[in-house]
Chains A and B, each alone.
Chain A
Amino acid sequence: MHPFVLERPRDLSAALSFGAQPGRNDAPVEYIAGGTDMVQLLQEYVRRPDRLVSLAGVLDDGIEIGPQGLRFGAAATMAEVAAHQGVVEQFPLISQALLNSASPQVRNQATMGGNLLQRTRCPYFRDVGYEACNKRAPGSGCAALEGENRWHAVLGTSDDCIAVHPSDLAVALVALDASVELRGTGGDRSVPLSELHRLPRDTPHLETVLAPGEVITAITVPANAAGLRSHYLKLRDRASFEFAVVSAAVAIETAGARIRQARVALGGVGTKPWRLPNVEQALADRSLEPGELRSAAALAAEGAQGRGHNDFKIELMQRAIVRAVEIAGAHA
């Protein structure tokens, strides 16, 4: 690891004053919370901050369900949220996405805020032996475009970056219209999760809309997302402890054998958690017949671009949507 000064502030305002900036490789100050991603990045010299600011003990870790919906503190662990009785009963999509993530050990350590801000698993980003990575070293190129890109994105890509956002949790949350509460030295604000991450465009080194010092303090999910029929389908190269090749988060409200409204998001295929309003619109008022689902899911491919090894994802993600809706509907 590159040498760093470790700060252990007593409270959140002290933590904010260091001006740490998550998701930027040129930032000299970074936060560390659960550490499960940060320590890997430090060990591999992908991140070389001069100062590391610990968020241990300074962030809320509570989980509450009330009339406004679900709210969990950014320091709640993946394991705590996944096992929370109210989450399991009213927001099972979140619990399911979490239990399909990482390993039991990592879920005991990793926090909600950190999960949303984890860095891509693109092997070219994670291996500093490769010079070309616009995310790690702006302007250096993208080794994945012509490289091994089976795991890479087909939605939201640019000619500068095709790295996938790796979080399962974020896919489930974005389908449920979640927001993140942020705090900075300038005050508090709330941002829809769908707007937290930036598209790579020609600035893939800028991953989020967080300002210097700003931190995620809580995540909220509106009450109208409770009690929907849902399913998180994760397709991966081994049965457990693996990132998604393709995943689909689906939540539907049905009336008889018809879909009244649907929420659909994809993981493993987008440069950020990928919501699909066009598919959702097409699914509304359709029956659960496979043919009907299939033609609605086909709209997910609008704008999709494969780069060779990952071409199969364009077909697979449509099938994943159909399967996830079928499973969610079968719970009727």
Chain B
Amino acid sequence: MRGAISPAVAQAAGAATAPLDVSLRINGTEHRLSLDPRTTLLDALREHLHLTGSKKGCGLGQCGACTVLMDGMRVKACLSLAALAQGREIKTIEGLAQGDELHPLQASFIERDAFQCGYCTSGQIMAGVACISEGHAGSPQDIREWMSGNLCRCGAYDHIVAAIQDAAAVYSSTQEG
């Protein structure tokens, strides 16, 4: 019943697709690329720009490992076609630290030991940054609900929640100060 189509065959048949000129603004820098229209934003980042911090887990929008910010809002890069991200301001994990100074959430992930294998971590951090800036980090329950788009197969959730709480506290004290 299964195995009616071979994706490899279909992929090979697509070799003739005409490339598109695409200009992407990533972490403040403009990149001009020539891309197959099928290229997702995630593949453009990883395979064409060698920004491999954003990870490919499922490639279907389920795991959140590819989370990046687009015009300040968190999105799944695996569900965006790169050509349709033209004109948007994209921020990846590589653009989060200021030089050698880690973003407060990066620092709190280390402090709280909020990862084991680390594969989901960049997506967790990008989603966590948005979760805090949206105002959805007020309680552990809030954080769990608003971080539900990011899976961690090691099960480091307790530490991830704690790290986001810590960073949210740093943010609010900075804003009050």
Contact = CB atoms under 8 A, between A and B. Distances in A.
Interface of A: 1-6, 8, 32, 35-36, 39-40, 42-45, 48, 52, 54, 56, 79, 102-106, 108-109, 127-132, 143, 239-241
Interface of A is mostly: loop
B10 A104 contact: no
Nearest to B36: A3
Interface stretch (B69-77, B157-165, B166-174): B69-77
Given A1-B38, A2-B10, A32 B2 contact: no
A4 B37 contact: yes
Nearest to A1: B38
B81 A35 contact: yes
Contact of B13 (A3, A5, A36, A40): A3
A122 B31 CA distance: 39
Interface string B5-32: 1010011011011101000000000000
Contacts of B18: 5
Contact of A39 (B74, B80, B130, B131): B80
A45 B5 contact: yes
Contacts of A43: 59-60
B74 A105 contact: yes
B61 interface: yes
Contacts of B130: 104
Interface in B71-110: 73-76, 78-81, 83-84
Top 4 nearest A-B pairs (CB, nearest first) are A103-B149, A3-B14, A240-B148, A129-B2
Nearest to A238: B148
Contacts of A131: 1, 4
A127 B150 CA distance: 23
A203 to B, nearest CB: 22
Contacts of A45: 5, 7, 10
A105 B37 contact: no
B73 A79 contact: yes
A6 B18 CA distance: 10
21 contacts: A2-B13, A6-B84, A8-B84, A36-B61, A40-B79, A45-B10, A103-B148, A104-B130, A104-B131, A104-B136, A104-B148, A105-B74, A105-B127, A108-B73, A108-B74, A127-B2, A129-B3, A131-B4, A132-B1, A240-B145, A240-B148
A155 B35 CA distance: 45
Contacts of A42: 38
A39 B3 CA distance: 21
Interface residues of B, number: 45
Contacts of B80: 35, 39, 109
B40 interface: yes
Query: Which of B4, B74, B83, B84 has the most CB atoms of chain A within a 10 A radius of its CB?
Result: B84
B119 interface: no
B67 interface: yes
Given A6-B83, A129-B2, 14 more contacts: A1-B38, A2-B13, A3-B14, A3-B17, A5-B18, A32-B84, A35-B84, A39-B81, A103-B61, A103-B149, A105-B61, A108-B75, A109-B80, A132-B1
A224 to B, nearest CB: 32
A5 B37 contact: yes
A109 B76 contact: yes
Contact of B4 (A5, A54, A56, A129): A129
Contact of B64 (A8, A103, A240): A103
Contacts of B4: 128-131
B61 A106 contact: yes
Contact of A36 (B37, B59, B76, B145): B76
A43 to B, nearest CB: 6
B131 to A, nearest CB: 7
A139 to B, nearest CB: 15
A39 B79 contact: yes
A235 to B, nearest CB: 16
Nearest to B76: A105
Interface in B52-72: 59-61, 64, 67, 70
